Chain A
């Protein structure tokens, strides 16, 4: 699986947009970009995923660069409940050992009042 690189921590003011970057420069053509988050003492929660095009759902937006070597997760109006560790993961689109999720260190996002 392609390796991802994320900043270890970020801060954001409540009500502002949180933009979390992820570098995945070795991503392959058949690998998707997934974002999960983990709030303290809970299981990981799916946020969004994409292959090439930008994606948006009720939780967030995912912006993938044209060369697919990096992406940004956007939480448009961060709240205190968005404080969590955010994981950027690349995953192959086939049943193999790559269909597991490989979690890196993630980014600790702290939303401040």
Chain B
């Protein structure tokens, strides 16, 4: 079946512009996660959504970052007034409704801020 998809695969933007990154989770997955991976580094947790619960935003690095999720489907990560340090691969993962259920990752969006 279809896996997690993300769009765009690559995004180049200028410093100060806003960007929106999209994640389509696996159908039926109630949990959705966003992570960031800077070049040569490990994954950094940003935010997760679980069903109708309030999202855990504890990993968002600043108030320039926000995310929304429509029901149990698409999620959008928005970065306002992008900075060069925002350049990274942004990864989305989804899982079923138990906390130990496997997280399946998408291919990521590579963001480059000039």
Residue positions of A touching B, CB distance < 8 A: 32, 42-46, 49, 87, 91-97, 99-106
Find A46's partner among B53, B56, B104 (CB 8 Å cutoff): B104
Per the CB 8 Å criterion, the residue count for chain B at the interface is: 24
B42 in contact with A100 (CB, 8 Å):
no
In the complex, B58 has a CB within 8 A of chain A: yes
Q: Which residues of B contact A45 (CB under 8 A)?
A: 105
Q: Are A99 and B91 in contact (CB under 8 A)?
A: no
Contact A43 B45, beta carbon cutoff 8 Å: no
Complex CA gap A93/B12 in Å reads 38
A4 to B43, CA, bound (A): 14
> In the bound complex, do residue A100 and residue B102 qualify as a contact, i.e. CB atoms below 8 Å apart?
no
| B102 and A49 contacting across the interface, CB-CB below 8 Å | yes
Q: Is B65 an interface residue (CB 8 A)?
A: no
